[in-house]
Amino acid sequence: MSVVMITGGVRSGKSAAAERLASRRGAPVVVAVAGWEGDVEMRRRVDAHIRTRPAEWSVLTVDTDPAWAAGVASGSVLLLDCLSTLIGAIVHGEVGDASFAPEGAEDRCEARALAMVEALVSRDGDTVIVSNEAGWGVVPEFASGRVFRDVLARANRALAERADGSWLAVAGHLIDLKALPVDLPWPSMPPGRIRTPTKG
């Protein structure tokens, strides 16, 4: 059993990479997609998932209760596309359109997001998880956006730590996060180098 995470920005190529990886396992593939009732755009995205995947792949519409992960057969590859949509649904349920997040809402969202991560990495079977990087832009205007950004970032960190492989998709190319350092050494000046003062 292996767990692989592929994260990145919008349209970075992460979903395509996840699909290629899942297809090479030689096992049935179950694609899990998420949304919430009443969201017309999300319904269209779910329909697109069904249309564009191979006919032999199963498409499972899932919700924010992590119990669904254990129900996917161990002999199947689970491809979740994507974790960030599930976390968005969690935040939407806790915060909604409020101008300010209700007291304790962020903690509840984080606990539920981490429970989802735990269910995915504990699943008996190969699992490929797509997620988004949402903290590289401006501070979101709405409370739900700010909570989503912070909770997703913590969930991504927890998932990257637990996963057997973690990759960052950038412009269609993949960076192996497991090969990168998590701690930095203090920089030292090479012998003979003289630092030139900056003129201001």
CA dihedral 8, 35, 149, 158 (to 10 degrees): -70
From edge to edge, which strands make up the β-sheet containing 127-130?
Answer: 58-62, 29-34, 77-81, 127-130, 3-8, 165-170, 173-176
Helix axes 105-121, 83-95, angle to 10 degrees: 150
Percent of the chain with pLDDT over 90: 72
Q: Where are the domains positioned within the chain?
A: 3-122+133-169
Summarised one tens digit per residue, pLDDT across range 145-172 is 999 999 999 999 999 999 999 999 999 9
Q: Is the per-residue pLDDT at 36 higher than 90?
A: no
- Reply yes or no on whether the pLDDT at 53 is more than 80: no
CA 15-178-62 angle, to 5 degrees, is: 35
Max Cα-Cα span within the chain = 66
**Architecture of the domain made up of 3-122+133-169:** 3-Layer(aba) Sandwich (3.40)
